[in-house]
């Protein structure tokens, strides 16, 4: 996989939640996520490990049914194939890192 740099385009993930890739390489990728207060990220899973670092705002992440409240400066590792969802308690910005890269999101970045 070739290394990509950030894209300027924002893509919707769910109502009130948008993402933009910052960088991607062979083993990992990173993206910004903006989340409006009251938004909900539906339950989902993926084979990629995910590290969420909250830059601002507040989130309640449910990981395998266990709630985790995150505020600015908090981080949470979501293991591979573990179901998770999120409720946005306060408008937030997060930095998500995935390993390996999310090929589905990178394909969306390329317009495929």
Q: What is the pLDDT of residues 89-99, one digit of tens each?
A: 999 999 999 99
CB count in 10 Å sphere of residue 112:
7
Q: Say how far apart CA 110 and CA 49 lie, in whole Å.
A: 22
Residue 7 — pLDDT band, cuts 50, 70, 90?
confident
Confirm if 34 and 46 have CB atoms less than 8 A apart. no
Judge contact between 49 and 101, C-beta under 8 A: no
Out of 2.60.120.10, 1.10.730.10, 2.130.10.10, 3.30.460.20, the CATH code matching 4-109 is: 2.60.120.10
**Tokens describing residue 4:** 């990509």
> In this predicted structure, what is the pLDDT of residue 6?
66
Percentage with pLDDT > 90 across the chain: 90
Task: Spell out the domain ranges in the chain.
Answer: 4-109
Task: Give residue 3's pLDDT.
Answer: 60
Average pLDDT, the chain: 94
Confidence of residue 21 (pLDDT cuts 50, 70, 90): very high
Q: Read off the pLDDT of each residue in 10-23 and give the average, rounded to a whole number.
A: 97
Task: Please give the C-alpha separations between residue 16 and each of 28, 64, 93, 97, in angstroms, as whole numbers.
Answer: 25, 23, 12, 20
Structure tokens at 42: 């539906």
């Amino acid at each position: 996989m070739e290394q990509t740099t950030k894209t300027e385009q924002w893509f919707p993930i769910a109502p009130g939640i948008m993402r933009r890739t910052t960088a991607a390489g062979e083993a990992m990728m990173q993206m910004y996520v903006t989340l409006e207060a009251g938004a909900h990220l539906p339950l989902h899973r993926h084979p990629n490990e995910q590290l969420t670092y909250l830059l601002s705002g507040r989130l309640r992440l449910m990981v395998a049914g266990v709630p985790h409240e995150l505020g600015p400066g908090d981080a949470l590792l979501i293991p591979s194939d573990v179901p998770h969802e999120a409720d946005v308690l306060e408008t937030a910005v997060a930095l998500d890192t995935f390993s390996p890269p999310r090929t589905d999101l990178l394909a969306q970045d390329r317009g495929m």
